[in-house]
């Protein structure tokens, strides 16, 4: 809990005592509040904001004249919590720091007021942006960050911390705690199953959340027993749903086992796994949109993408690696990515219905070709709806489960008293059609409002 308190002393949301006489900073009149948790709307509401906190939500009929620095009549427009993208990356080395920073306003442009950074190699910069965003000297979403990833003796990504024994695990977790990292992100470039379990065990002892990739030599339910809180992407839950998992592990195939896992997916076993994961309060970030984007990389022409212009030249160069690999896979006739994408779509509804917490995350950032900040989270939510979730369920994976992962549902997830004033104002109801999420009229981040002109100016 130590970590959470420090986040909020930074956000100053705990200092939200306001007297009736005091003028509010921002008031919305005639708002239609979208209750994502209940899946309903409440019309004719007045919402008052002081500093970065919602301090009053009341029916217009019960509210006399209010005094506020800024009053906006929403004329029935819809107001909901700002979106969370629960898997993003800032990375690419010192030469790309400025280009990474320049992507921050794109999140706001698309209504994303919080991101969960899943690790990279420019942590000091990410931490300074985080502080500047809170101080409102930089426009961007609030950042929860893992800091550097933990990997084995030969890390897949630059900037990762190498851990191969318990002393290094302790040092690594000390360093994550020292920078007030919000969780521990593990990566499987060369992490052994034993070290992976040991990280989880020690992080659990310290009260740190753990998620990330899992070595394909490890077993998901064993890791959950050690205290694992979540996984990113679908490979690892897929492995748990194949009766061949143990025999494939012995062959030491790494991701080479994925196509067999897809072929041997067992629905009954899967339902048992989902029930167990739900019981253990487990989180899965499916990242469907990037899965689909990468599976089509060999054929798709992205040169006309409207958001490509906002990606720096250095970031665009990082796209080439995945493009080359997709073309090589196509030439060799390897279609495992598209087979995987098709199966993972079928896994979403049964997981959701079993009670597994899903997290909407885009995996946007350098190296992840044409997965643009902001737009890609909308793509993820649309992809979740396409698998069979209704719009309310899809929204829950962003604005409700995002904070829940960090135990912060007290401060986020609804337009009610005492919550952080991160808000999205829409022309149309997102509960009836997920496409309505793009009808953005206004975005409020930590109490600061941005109208359409201001959002456009941020991108200049």
Q: Interface residues with Zn ion (CB under 5 A)?
A: 118, 363
User: What percentage of the chain's residues is helix, strand, coil (to nearest 5)?
Assistant: 45, 20, 40
Quote the least distance from Cβ 224 to Zn ion, whole Å. Answer: 21
Nearer to Zn ion, 362 or 393 (CB): 362
Nearer to Zn ion, 141 or 413 (CB): 141
Give the integer Cα–Cα distance in Å for 232 and 390: 22
Quote the least distance from Cβ 214 to Zn ion, whole Å. Answer: 13
Nearer to Zn ion, 188 or 363 (CB): 363
Three-point CA angle 180, 235, 85, nearest 5°: 45
- Phi, psi (5° rounding) for residue 78? -90, 140
Beta 142-145 vs 150-151: how paired, if at all? unpaired
- Nearest residue to Zn ion, by Cβ distance, number only: 363
Nearer to Zn ion, 89 or 419 (CB): 89
Nearer to Zn ion, 46 or 118 (CB): 118
Q: Is the dihedral of CA 395, 401, 402, 408 positive or negative?
A: positive
Quote the least distance from Cβ 37 to Zn ion, whole Å. Answer: 28
Do 254 and 234 touch, CB atoms closer than 8 A?
A: no
Quote the least distance from Cβ 115 to Zn ion, whole Å. Answer: 12
Nearer to Zn ion, 118 or 356 (CB): 118
Quote the least distance from Cβ 255 to Zn ion, whole Å. Answer: 15
Task: Return the number of other C-beta atoms located less than 10 Å from residue 107's C-beta.
Answer: 29
Quote the least distance from Cβ 380 to Zn ion, whole Å. Answer: 13
Three-point CA angle 80, 311, 181, nearest 5°: 60
Nearer to Zn ion, 149 or 419 (CB): 149
Give the integer Cα–Cα distance in Å for 324 and 330: 10
Nearer to Zn ion, 107 or 450 (CB): 107
Quote the least distance from Cβ 232 to Zn ion, whole Å. Answer: 6
Tell which residue, 292, 284, 152, has the closest CA to residue 212. 284
Using the 8-state DSSP alphabet, how is residue 160 labeled?
P
Quote the least distance from Cβ 187 to Zn ion, whole Å. Answer: 9
Do 199 and 162 touch, CB atoms closer than 8 A?
A: no
Nearer to Zn ion, 99 or 363 (CB): 363
Quote the least distance from Cβ 363 to Zn ion, whole Å. Answer: 4
Nearer to Zn ion, 186 or 307 (CB): 186
Quote the least distance from Cβ 118 to Zn ion, whole Å. Answer: 5
Quote the least distance from Cβ 333 to Zn ion, whole Å. Answer: 27
SS3 107: helix
Nearer to Zn ion, 115 or 172 (CB): 115
Give the integer Cα–Cα distance in Å for 10 and 131: 8
Q: Which residues, other chains included, contact 124 with Cβ-Cβ below 8 Å and sequence gap of 6+?
A: none
Do 108 and 140 touch, CB atoms closer than 8 A?
A: yes
**Beta strands per DSSP E along 118-158:** 142-145, 150-151
Quote the least distance from Cβ 147 to Zn ion, whole Å. Answer: 14
Q: Which residues, other chains included, contact 276 with Cβ-Cβ below 8 Å and sequence gap of 6+?
A: 221, 224
Nearer to Zn ion, 86 or 113 (CB): 86
Give the integer Cα–Cα distance in Å for 198 and 223: 9
Give the integer Cα–Cα distance in Å for 258 and 291: 14
Beta 142-145 vs 448-451: how paired, if at all? unpaired
Task: Quote the longest CA-to-CA distance of the chain.
Answer: 72
Using the 8-state DSSP alphabet, how is residue 364 labeled?
B
Give the integer Cα–Cα distance in Å for 103 and 308: 11
Task: Return the number of other C-beta atoms located less than 10 Å from residue 353's C-beta.
Answer: 14
């Amino acid at each position: 809990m130590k970590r959470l308190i420090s986040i909020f002393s930074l956000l100053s949301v705990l200092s939200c005592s306001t007297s009736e006489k005091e003028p509010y900073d921002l008031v919305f009149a005639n708002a239609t509040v979208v209750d994502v948790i209940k899946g309903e709307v409440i019309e004719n509401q007045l919402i008052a904001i002081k500093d970065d906190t919602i301090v009053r939500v009341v029916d217009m009929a019960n509210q006399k004249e209010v005094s506020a620095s800024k009053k906006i009549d929403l004329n029935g427009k819809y107001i909901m919590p700002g979106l969370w993208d629960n898997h993003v990356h800032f990375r690419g080395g010192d030469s790309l720091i400025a280009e990474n920073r320049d992507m921050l306003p794109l999140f706001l442009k698309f209504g994303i007021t919080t991101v969960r950074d899943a690790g990279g190699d420019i942590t000091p910069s990410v931490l300074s942006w985080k502080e500047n965003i809170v101080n409102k000297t930089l426009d961007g979403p609030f950042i929860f960050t893992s800091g550097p990833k933990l990997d084995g003796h030969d890390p897949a990504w630059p900037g990762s911390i190498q851990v191969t024994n318990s002393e290094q695990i302790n040092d690594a977790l000390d360093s994550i705690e020292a920078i007030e990292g919000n969780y521990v992100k593990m990566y499987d470039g060369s992490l052994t199953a034993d070290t992976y379990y040991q990280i989880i065990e020690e992080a659990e002892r310290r009260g740190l959340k753990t998620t990330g990739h899992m070595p394909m030599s490890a077993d998901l339910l064993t890791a959950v027993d050690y205290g694992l809180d979540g996984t990113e992407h679908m490979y690892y839950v897929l492995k748990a749903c194949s009766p061949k998992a143990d025999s494939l592990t012995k062959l030491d195939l790494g991701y080479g086992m994925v196509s067999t896992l897809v072929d041997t997916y067992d629905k009954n076993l899967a339902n048992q796994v989902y029930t167990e994961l739900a019981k253990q309060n487990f989180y899965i970030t499916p990242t469907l949109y990037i899965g689909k984007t990468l599976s089509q990389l060999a054929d798709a022409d992205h040169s006309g993408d409207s958001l490509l212009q906002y990606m720096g030249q250095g970031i665009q160069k990082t796209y080439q690696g995945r493009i080359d690999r997709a073309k090589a896979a196509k030439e060799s006739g390897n279609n495992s990515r598209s087979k995987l994408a098709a199966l993972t779509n079928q896994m979403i509804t049964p997981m959701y219905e079993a009670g597994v917490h899903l997290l909407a995350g885009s995996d946007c950032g350098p190296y992840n070709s044409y997965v643009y900040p902001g737009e890609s989270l909308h793509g993820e939510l649309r992809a979740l709806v396409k698998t069979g979730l209704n719009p309310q369920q899809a929204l829950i994976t962003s604005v409700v489960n995002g904070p829940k992962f960090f135990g912060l549902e007290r401060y986020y997830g609804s337009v009610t008293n005492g919550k952080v004033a991160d808000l999205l104002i829409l022309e149309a109801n997102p509960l009836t059609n997920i496409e309505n999420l793009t009808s953005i009229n206004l975005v409020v981040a930590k109490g600061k409002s941005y109208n359409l002109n201001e959002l456009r100016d941020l991108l200049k």
